[in-house]
Amino acid sequence: MLSVKGLRANVGENEILKGLDLEVGPGEIHAIMGPNGSGKSTFSHVLSGREGYEVTAGSVTFEGRNLLELEPEERAHLGVFLAFQYPVELPGVNNTYFLKAALNSIRKARGESELDAVSFLRLIKEKLKILHLDDSLLKRAVNAGFSGGEKKRNEIFQMALLEPKLAILDETDSGLDIDALRVVADGVNALRSPERSMIVVTHYQRLLDYIEPDRVHVLAKGRIIRSGGKELALELEEKGYGWVLEQGQAA
Amino acid sequence: MNGAAPTGFETWLAARADGEVGAGLDWLEVQRRNALQQVRDQGVPGTKQEAWRYTSVKRLLEQGFARVEDAVTALQIDDIEELLIPDLDSHRVVMVNGRYTPSLSLLGDLPKGVRVTGLRALLASDPDALRERLNGVAGESQPLFAALNTAGLDDGLVILMDRGAILERPIELIHLSVGMDEPRVAQPRHVVSLADGAQATLIERYVSLGESLYCTNSMLELSLGRDAVLKHDRIQVESPNAFHITGLYLSQDAGSRYVGVNIGLGAAWARTDLVTRFSGEHAECDLQGLYLAGDRQLMDYHIDVDHAVPACSSRETFKGILYGKGRAVFDGRVVVAKDAQKTDAAMSNKNLMLSENAEVDTKPQLEINADDVKCSHGTTVGQIEPEKLFYLRSRGISAPLARRMLCLGFAEEIIDALYSDALREAVSEEVGRRLETAPLT
Ligand SMILES: Nc1ncnc2c1ncn2[C@@H]1O[C@H](COP(=O)(O)OP(=O)(O)OP(=O)(O)O)[C@@H](O)[C@H]1O
Ligand SMILES: [Mg+2]
């Protein structure tokens, strides 16, 4: 489904991703862990097409398409979704209007009919329930003045609505209280399906108790230096990154 | 008019075949002569004058506008159907090329103590009602375009409200400009006078049929008595070839409240002067504005707020979206007199630049002569933030739609202050429509 080979990317003069390889199959959940500043968000951004990164080598193929040559919206139309580590506030842009524009843009690009107001609202209400979100959030501006936890839940809410094929969750668990973490994890699990893959970036083993990954990778200094099963996360929790980093250097 | 104005504006004041309105009223003759003299004395404004530093009237003069002659009588209500806002329930007054047009107006029943009429009609039937009011707010000494308006006085809307009178429904003035064989200038003159405690909403809409070339030099004199409340929305959506001038003169007595929203979307060249003077304490003046300036468009705003007495508050909140080679000027001035303690004034001007070729001159000024006051001002000139754009695009929204959504988001605060949902929707739609075709370079 997603195949990343030898990916190198710069921000300005600095090389941040230094030959990253990753294969994600359909329906799989991959966790990416790694120290601060190792390039996890950079990788998420490069996948979703954010400007400001220069890819100098390697390839990213999604369902046979070269993702790197597509605009961000075209990637979204193919089913790529990024839950932002820091969701952006859009004062003055009404949340409902935004959600409708997003959903209908994607439907249109896929040759589906746009949803009318009534079916849209019905759909929204259904998804809100899954994430225990108050529908007053719909009347407000996108993320504007939302609490940290509300912003994160709003990201997963958008994911539930847009039903992507590849969801990249960048530290969606950071800043969530214990109950909210549960709710978000339930939301993510509800979306698990044989056709939907996920990349879950996290610093904490706790999330992975709820969302069981198929694979766990350690990203350090712009490369995946170690991969394993879910037990790798437990090991990291126990020992920290020191030992993998040393091994990585030795390798 | 005897003796032309030797300034390039003489065609604006050419004698009318049917004579001047209110001819024979001595006081009016004096005012007209006085105004004409001021037009002559001032000559053509140049960029050396502070009020015209950023704006040249050259383009305006080149058009050689001639004074409108006859009233346009051929229009039927069907012709203006598309200009109406269906869900806006109002007392409707329609003016065409500066003339009150009863056949297109629909005033309906007015409550007791409220008079809504044409200036021309009132000068014929009850001129004394206007005697103290014409030039009563603007004063005797007027800047060029106000003086031109006074010298060429012809028709306009008059709203007179008695003490405590309350209008439930808004008065909607639709000023329609229809292109003529040659470029014409109309100079409507509106007078709104609310006695103590009166309350009203006035919605002014300047619109046009087609893309014709014309000029409108409108002038308003508004006076609010003690505790009077006026909500005043002005929406200018005109031909891309139009020239538009507004001089709004407002006087507020103690405890009165004025909330004005100025939406400027149309015209090739638009100049707006908003002049407010407080004459009693605890009055509030809230001036908001949204302007769009695209290719070959100029939007020029001058605001003058005079805190002559203590304890009044004023807000000036203007936002602009510029694209193509659009140009805008925001020149805001708040003066706080020596005795005007407890003044509360805040002025802000924010501009969103969609292209590198657009240009804005923004100059908010506070002149504070009292010490116990709360005053602030701020301006910003910025672009669409890339993070915001990316956030929307990452959700599948195309770049052009995303930009439009962000622009409307920027404008939302001002649009939100309009009178009703129907009006808000109409304005949002028009803003969206204009941005859809906006060149983004
Ligand atoms: N726009 C930028 N300009 C300069 N440096 C940048 C930019 N974006 C990222 N970097 C640098 O790239 C490195 C990787 O950053 P990135 O945000 O990808 O880390 P991360 O793994 O997501 O960290 P965290 O766990 O703290 O979220 C950091 O050193 C960061 O400072
Ligand atoms: Mg990060």
Ligand minimally distant from the alpha carbon of residue A241: 1
Residues of B in contact with A88 (CB under 8 A): 387-388, 390-391
Residue B266: pLDDT band by 50, 70, 90 thresholds?
confident
| pLDDT, average across residues B253-262 | 98
Question: Is residue B90 helix, strand or coil?
Answer: coil
| pLDDT, average across residues A175-179 | 89
pLDDT at A110 over 60: yes
B371 falls within a domain: no
Name the residue range of residue B209's domain. 10-280
Residue B179: pLDDT band by 50, 70, 90 thresholds?
confident
pLDDT at A246: 79
Ligand minimally distant from the alpha carbon of residue A51: 1
The C-alpha atoms of residue A196 and residue A164 are separated, in whole angstroms, by: 7
B384 falls within a domain: no
The C-alpha atoms of residue B340 and residue B313 are separated, in whole angstroms, by: 11
Strands A90-94 and A29-33: unpaired
Chain B residues interacting with chain A (CB cutoff of 8 angstroms): 386-388, 390-399, 401-402, 405-406, 408-413
Terminal Cα-to-Cα distance of chain B (whole angstroms): 48
Q: Do A72 and B386 touch (CB under 8 A)?
A: no
B289 falls within a domain: no
pLDDT at B70 over 90: no
pLDDT digits (tens, 9 = 90+) for A198-245: 999 999 888 999 999 999 999 999 999 999 999 999 888 888 888 888
Cα distances (Å, whole numbers) of residue A208 to A159, A178, A216, B5, B187: 19, 13, 10, 84, 73
pLDDT at A62 over 50: yes
| pLDDT, average across residues A150-172 | 95
| pTM (whole model) above 0.90 | yes
pLDDT digits (tens, 9 = 90+) for B15-35: 888 889 999 999 999 999 999
The C-alpha atoms of residue B440 and residue B406 are separated, in whole angstroms, by: 14
Helix axes A95-109, B399-415, angle to 10 degrees: 160
pLDDT at A34 over 60: yes
Ligand 1 centroid to A197 CA: how many Å? 24
pLDDT digits (tens, 9 = 90+) for B333-358: 999 999 999 999 999 999 999 999 99
Q: Which residue has the higher pLDDT, B196 or B211?
A: B196
Question: Which residues 101-130 of A are in CB contact (within 8 Å) with B?
Answer: 101-103, 105-106, 109
pLDDT at B6 over 60: no
**A238 token code pair:** 């126990």
pLDDT at B210: 83
Residues of A in contact with B401 (CB under 8 A): 101, 105
Query: How many folded domains does chain B comprise?
Result: 1
B424 falls within a domain: no
pLDDT at B1: 44
pLDDT at B441 over 80: no
Question: What average pLDDT does the structure give for chain B?
Answer: 94
pLDDT at B176 over 80: yes
Name the residue range of residue A20's domain. 2-250
State the Cα angle at B417 between B415 and B420, rounded to 5°.
85
| pLDDT, average across residues A91-101 | 96
Ligand 2 centroid to B256 CA: how many Å? 54
Question: Is residue B38 helix, strand or coil?
Answer: helix
Task: Among A26-35, A64-73, B67-76, name the one with the lowest average pLDDT.
Answer: B67-76
The percentage of chain B sitting over the pLDDT mark of 70, rounded to a whole number, equals 98
pLDDT digits (tens, 9 = 90+) for B295-321: 989 999 999 999 999 999 999 999 999
pLDDT at A251: 47
- The ligand 1 site (C-beta within 6 Å) comprises A 11, 14, 16, 34, 36-42, 52, 85
Residue appearing with tokens 């021309």: B120
Residue B206: pLDDT band by 50, 70, 90 thresholds?
very high
Q: Which residue has the higher pLDDT, A186 or B235?
A: B235
pLDDT at B2 over 50: no
Q: Do B388 and A88 touch (CB under 8 A)?
A: yes
Residues of A in contact with B388 (CB under 8 A): 88, 90
Question: What average pLDDT does the structure give for chain A?
Answer: 93
Task: Among B13-27, B133-147, B228-242, name the one with the lowest average pLDDT.
Answer: B13-27
Q: Does A190 touch chain B (CB under 8 A)?
A: no
Q: Do A92 and B395 touch (CB under 8 A)?
A: no
The distance of B387 to chain A (nearest Cα, Å) reads 7
B165 falls within a domain: yes
- CATH number of domain containing A53: 3.40.50.300
pLDDT digits (tens, 9 = 90+) for B92-104: 999 999 999 999 9
pLDDT at B71: 77
What string of DSSP letters covers B192-249?
EEE-TT-EEEEEEEEEEETT--EEEEEEEEEEE-TT-EEEEEEEEE--TT-EEEEEEE
- Interface ipTM > 0.95: yes
Q: Do A106 and B396 touch (CB under 8 A)?
A: yes
Q: Do A50 and B394 touch (CB under 8 A)?
A: yes
- Ligand 1 mutation pick, A7, A11, A171, A174, max ligand atoms within 8 A of CB: A11
The C-alpha atoms of residue A7 and residue A222 are separated, in whole angstroms, by: 9
pLDDT at B55: 92
**B145 token code pair:** 């375009």
Evaluate whether A47 touches A17 at the Cβ level (below 8 Å): no
| pLDDT, average across residues B219-239 | 97
